[in-house]
Structure 1
Amino acid sequence: MAAPKKGRRSPGGQGRPGRTLVLIVIAMVALVGGMFASGTSTPRLGIDLAGGTSFTLQARNQPGKPNAINETNMKTAAGIMERRVNGLGVSEAEVQTQGTNHIVVNIPKGTDAKQARQQVGTTAQLGFRPVLTATTGAKTPSATPSPSASSGKKGDDKKDDKKDDKKDGEKAEGKPSATPSASNTTQGRAVTSALKKGPAETPSASGSPSAKPSDSASPQPSTGGDQIPAALQKQLADLDCSTPQARSQASEKAANAKPTDQVVSCKEDGTQKYALGPVAVEGTDVKDASAVFEAQSGQGWIVQMDFTGAGGKKFADVTGKLAAKPQPQNQFAIVLDGQTISAPSVSKAIPGGQATISGGFTQQSAEDLANMLSYGALPLSFKIADETTVTAALGGEQLEAGLIAGAIGLALVIVYLVAYYRGLALVALASLAVSAILTYTIMTLLGPAIGFALNLPAVCGAIVAIGITADSFIVYFERIRDEIREGRTLRPAVERGWPRARRTILVSDFVSFLAAFVLFIVTVGKVKGFAFTLGLTTLLDVVVVFFFTKPLMTLLARRKFFANGHPWSGLDPKRLGAKPPLRRRRTTAPTETKEA
């Protein structure tokens, strides 16, 4: 009978267990090296373990919408806020409704609280409004002083000045104001995709000076050709955009106006103010937005917007009408929450369903704006009612208690393995150590990679995984011991017991992973951390058993201590009640025939 070839793979076993062990050791070294190379050696902690910031937002009633604060809108707002915050790369953020008109947002430590506050508190009501007229941002002084009996020559001079101003206004609309600001050319500019493809256009809101404030005697025509109402003129004259508080009040008033109303609005930096017509294209017509760095044209960071089919058609129709109007009525203001962030001029109709906001953006501000526009506007407006710093004291105490419980459980598992399996306990402990190293390094690397944060439920999932991993070892060890009880030696017992143990381990881990997957899909909040950790450790259990425990047992079966069944090996045939060695029985014919 021919001897088996050297290195031939035995049925159900591994021909080169040493190579498999080397591969998993190399993988462990690579993961540990990557962990230190990333600059972090500890997993990212959730808000319950590391602390953070908590915002309480209160919904506000909106004009014309008395029943807007309802359960549906509150849940929609909470979902949008959660997507916005997670769009910043923040994981384990908690966003949940509280009562009938409050939303609580908890953000882990390490997140820019100011940036997160802006993301969750900004309504992101976007609208494209035609510009009726524009002027400098400061409050306009009264151009029609009351006449007095003693006006004299001084009054005549004022009258002459007024006439001169009127003549200048009749000669050319859009005459530069007396104090043009250089900063107007770098902040809040916007160009459209059509402007980018064609010759460079100069946005009226930045490159072209705005029209000088006109007197009541020479009203500016509106976009539709009608005169601007006197009430709107007065609002524009009284509007002061020079201070942040005044801009905030003006933005709030404009944001609460109806889409069909004419409003006044400040530019983002306060250098200009506008009288705007009704909303021509709503923010709901924006399908997607993204921050892009435009290097060729020198515009820097821009925000590209893609409109829906209906939105693109409306945008093309409106820009075609505006292109035929004089300055500044050919400007199109992009208004976000009542504040004009850009007012580009239009020279021709812009088809294609795309527009670009550019000028004055940093990478962060462009990404923040794109993030808010991508996830849509909130159905309600909110104000931050409370902001507190959350400490990790309570979570730290719970974590300490959980770790103590986990250590006690692990100690009991070790005692049981040593008492019952003796030498095989070394294999189990080595496998648990490998599983712990892989779990720790992967959790640490997932922090900066996908924003994974370790919270209390996730720690609980890792502790539960100890039992799942130990159960896989016990299944395999018992299969080996069953083969020895049948009278086989250790080496064939290791190989013959593996296929049956492998099926049992895979079925058990599949059930655990399926439960974790379903739990992750249907739950929200912290429970997702438990489900994610449970699923991750279940997958690692399969890796460890296949690529570490099985090859290690194959190598140890060749050692005399285990192969000869030493009493402390855990594989002593006498202790296991093994049967005599299996032998073939020979049948021989009787030599004599006996008669009945």
Structure 2
Amino acid sequence: MAAPKKGRRSPGGQGRPGRVLAFILIAMVALVGGMFASGQTTPRLGIDLAGGTSFTLEAKNQPGQPNAITTTNMNTAAGIIERRVNGLGVTESEVQTQGKKHIIVNIPKGTNAKQAREQVGTTAQLAFRPVLVAAPAGKLPEPTPSASAGAGKDKDKGDKSKAPKDTDKAKDAEKDKKGKPSGTPTASAPGSSATPSGSHGQGRAVTEALKAPQAPKPPTPSPKPSGGPSNDLQKQFAALDCSTKEARSQAAKKASDQAKPGDDVVVCDKDGQEKLLLGPVAVEGRDVTDAKAALDTQRASGWQVQLKFNGSGAKKFADVTGKLAAKPEPQNRFAIVLDGQAVSAPRVNGPIPGGSAEISGNFDQSSADDLANILSYGALPLSFDIVTETTVSAALGGEQLRAGLIAGAIGLALVVIYLVVYYRGLALVALASLAVSAVLTYTIMVLLGKAIGFALNLPAVCGAIVAIGITADSFIVYFERVRDEIREGRSLRPAVERGWPRARRTILVSDFVSFLAAAVLFIVTVGKVQGFAFTLGLTTLLDVVVVFFFTKPLMTLLARRKFFASGHPWSGLDPKRLGAKPPLRASRRRPSAPVDPKEA
């Protein structure tokens, strides 16, 4: 039987090493191109390297809860704040309690400090309330809306009739502004849709997601069927001016602090387009189980926030939207109130069952992410005031980074000297592999900073330096296996292929142990230590990629070159220098059969 041809296939699947090398080089070019295309060519740095902003939050008791500041509530609040800040794409934030009533929040440079400041202390009191009266943002002339507004009656033919007319004028103006009316979508079985009023400059649409409703629970009482708002509340509504940011902030604070779920309330639209007099809470924010931002497929460049309700919330939401759909404008609108401000007040055309809804309209990605982030992570158990805001310097971290980089450079130089002295020509393979590993690590860290907010801190830099030793160790294992085969009397090409299976097993076991240690460290630790674990795990995975897709095929190609195949003294594979045995020869008794079929 004819012996199989040499070089056609190898245990590592490296029969065509040129293609494998081309693949890894194309991947490197793609990563580098993606890095430049993203507009960010340097890794994102943590607060210890780049500096940042530090907030000090002071807890305060909410009305009716004088003993709410407890260790449990403080720890819960710190966890929610950390998830909120990380939801902005910040993975190196530091959130920790200090004393009995303070929380320290450190955010690295490069994060929108204003955006983070707005989210860290927000209570996120979400509620869905029916609209009783809607009017433009400015003050209304006397007389004020009558108490019958909430019941859908028109006893008062004065200002109550003006509010809807003013709303209609605003709707017409909005239609003219957009060039088309804010029409109502066609309802589809088994439910229907809800669209925003045209007068609401930041109007969003709430539409049914056509998902199966969850197990229903007894609904909460619907809005007051009669009586309507008090005269005092109507006077407050008429006198309220929502045209300025300061007035809207004061109105929101008053509504959040004083209004109870069962009371009517006066609120401003978030963008100052209109003011609303709302009925009692029909669906509470705690009934929202999930919220996320997504592209609005029905709009060219719009975004939306997708909501999901629990079983009780789904039933209440379907019940109240069904009742509101039968009422005239503006009582057929359903306001979504967040921290005393109306985020949206869409018009309801029919019940929305299924436990899912969409808030859509004039969202961009940033505003949709902000709202979804706050709704996803829930309300804080306490209210907080930001008592200090300071800028953190990166001077100390910069000095430590320079010291670490110097130590890393010295270590790398020693590794290079060792490789050149001991392995000679093979050192070129090791250095080229280290260069490929460095390019992959750097570009992936930059892209991760853009994609998931990964920030490089001092422990992460330490993990990258440790990875140099892990990567060099893999090369040494393979080189020594090849040299062992040459000592046994084999030529270079069979030695490269025969040494690979055993070296591969050793490398995989070693890297698996390192990756497992990094994974455990990442899970059981918090803060900056996670940066070390993440970097160590990432570089360990890249070590496997480099050894399999670059080092091994490169060795296969070099084994065909005369300089290495002939065992040149400077190749690092000189049989005499290695003390090789005489070449293996076929036995005299069986001249036709090779001693080692695998070698062929």
TM-score normalised by length of structure 2: 0.79
Matching residue of 1:309: 311
- Which structure has the bigger radius of gyration? 1
Matches within 5 A, 1:112-261: 112-133=112-133, 137-138=137-138, 170-171=156-157, 174-177=160-163, 180=166, 203=197, 206=200, 223-226=224-227, 228-233=229-234, 235-236=236-237, 239-257=240-258, 258-261=260-263
> d(CA) in 2 for partners of 1:224 and 1:36?
61
* Equivalent pair of 1:134/1:272 in contact (CA under 8 Å): yes
Shift of 1:465: 0.6
Counterpart residue type for residue 85 of structure 1:
V
* Equivalent pair of 2:514/2:540 in contact (CA under 8 Å): yes
> d(CA) in 1 for partners of 2:380 and 2:558?
63
Matching residue of 1:384: 386
Matching residue of 2:206: none
Shift of 1:506: 0.8
Matching residue of 2:522: 520
> d(CA) in 2 for partners of 1:581 and 1:37?
55
> d(CA) in 2 for partners of 1:425 and 1:202?
69
Counterpart residue type for residue 414 of structure 1:
V
Shift of 1:577: 3.5
Counterpart residue type for residue 100 of structure 1:
K
Q: Write the deviation string for residues 384-408 of structure 1: whole angstroms up to 9, x where unpaired.
A: 2222233332222221111101001
Counterpart residue type for residue 250 of structure 1:
A
> d(CA) in 1 for partners of 2:329 and 2:569?
98
Question: Percent identity among equivalent residues?
Answer: 74
* Equivalent pair of 1:205/1:345 in contact (CA under 8 Å): no
Q: Write the deviation string for residues 188-236 of structure 1: whole angstroms up to 9, x where unpaired.
A: x9999897976987749759xxxxxxxxxxxxxx933125445545654
| SS of aligned partner of 1:175 | helix
Counterparts in 2 of 1:243 and 1:24: CA distance versus 1, 3 Å: closer
Matching residue of 2:475: 473
Counterparts in 2 of 1:241 and 1:517: CA distance versus 1, 3 Å: same
Q: Which moved more, 1:407-416 or 1:316-325?
A: 316-325
1:36 aligns to 2:22 (yes or no): no
> d(CA) in 1 for partners of 2:196 and 2:428?
76
> d(CA) in 2 for partners of 1:549 and 1:359?
54
TM-score normalised by length of structure 1: 0.80
Matching residue of 1:51: 51
Matches within 5 A, 1:553-564: 553-564=555-566
Matches within 5 A, 1:293-304: 301-304=303-306
> d(CA) in 2 for partners of 1:293 and 1:186?
23
Matching residue of 2:592: none
Counterpart residue type for residue 59 of structure 1:
A
* Equivalent pair of 1:223/1:325 in contact (CA under 8 Å): no
> d(CA) in 2 for partners of 1:320 and 1:460?
60
* Equivalent pair of 1:323/1:348 in contact (CA under 8 Å): yes
1:94 aligns to 2:80 (yes or no): no
Q: Write the deviation string for residues 427-455 of structure 1: whole angstroms up to 9, x where unpaired.
A: 22222122112222222233323333322
Shift of 1:315: 2.0
* Equivalent pair of 2:559/2:565 in contact (CA under 8 Å): yes
1:446 aligns to 2:432 (yes or no): no
Matching residue of 1:547: 549
* Equivalent pair of 2:134/2:330 in contact (CA under 8 Å): yes
Counterpart residue type for residue 103 of structure 1:
I
> d(CA) in 2 for partners of 1:36 and 1:298?
28
Counterparts in 2 of 1:563 and 1:340: CA distance versus 1, 3 Å: closer
Structure 2 unaligned runs (5+)? 145-153, 176-180, 202-222, 590-600
Shift of 1:54: 2.6
Matching residue of 1:342: 344
Shift of 1:321: 4.2
Counterpart residue type for residue 552 of structure 2:
K
Shift of 1:59: 2.4
* Equivalent pair of 2:193/2:349 in contact (CA under 8 Å): no
> d(CA) in 2 for partners of 1:431 and 1:540?
11
Shift of 1:62: 0.9
- The equivalent position to 1:414 in structure 2, one of 385, 400, 416, is 416
Counterparts in 2 of 1:138 and 1:586: CA distance versus 1, 3 Å: closer
Counterparts in 2 of 1:586 and 1:307: CA distance versus 1, 3 Å: closer
Counterpart residue type for residue 312 of structure 2:
A
* Equivalent pair of 1:190/1:358 in contact (CA under 8 Å): no
Counterparts in 2 of 1:538 and 1:362: CA distance versus 1, 3 Å: closer
* Equivalent pair of 1:261/1:278 in contact (CA under 8 Å): yes
Aligned CA-pair RMSD: 3.8
> d(CA) in 2 for partners of 1:194 and 1:91?
43
* Equivalent pair of 1:192/1:357 in contact (CA under 8 Å): no
Matching residue of 2:211: none
Matching residue of 1:369: 371
